[in-house]
Amino acid sequence: MKNSKKFAALALACIMVGSFAACSGSDAAEESTESTETTATSGSAVEEGGEITSKEDLNGKVIGVQLGTTGDLAASEEEIGAKEVKRYNKGNEAVQALKAGQVDCVIIDSQPAEKFVEKNDDLKILEEDFVNEEYAICLKKGNDELLEAMNGALQELQEDGTIDSIMSNYIGDNIGETPYESPADVDRSNGKLIMATNAAFEPYEYREGDEIVGIDADIAQAICDKLGYELQIDDMEFDSILPAVQSGKADFGAAGMTVTEDRKASVDFTDTYANASQVMIVRK
Q: Which tens digit of pLDDT belongs to each residue from 192-226?
A: 999 999 999 999 999 999 999 999 999 999 999 99
Domain 55-133, CATH: 3.40.190.10
Please determine, for residue 107, whether its predicted confidence score (pLDDT) is greater than 90: yes
Please determine, for residue 6, whether its predicted confidence score (pLDDT) is greater than 60: no
CATH 3.40.190.10 domain span(s) along the chain: 55-133
pTM above 0.85, yes or no: no
CA angle 132, 137, 142 (to 5 degrees): 125
Q: Is 123 within 8 Å of 267 (Cβ atoms)?
A: no
Tell me the pLDDT band of 45, cut-offs 50, 70 and 90.
Answer: low
Q: Enumerate residues 6+ apart whose C-beta is below 8 A from 53.
A: 126
Topology of 137-256 in CATH? D-Maltodextrin-Binding Protein; domain 2 (3.40.190)
Phi, psi of 280 (to 5 degrees): -110, 125
More confident residue, 137 or 23: 137
Please determine, for residue 275, whether its predicted confidence score (pLDDT) is greater than 80: yes
Tell me the pLDDT band of 70, cut-offs 50, 70 and 90.
Answer: confident
Q: Per this entry, what is the length of the chain?
A: 284
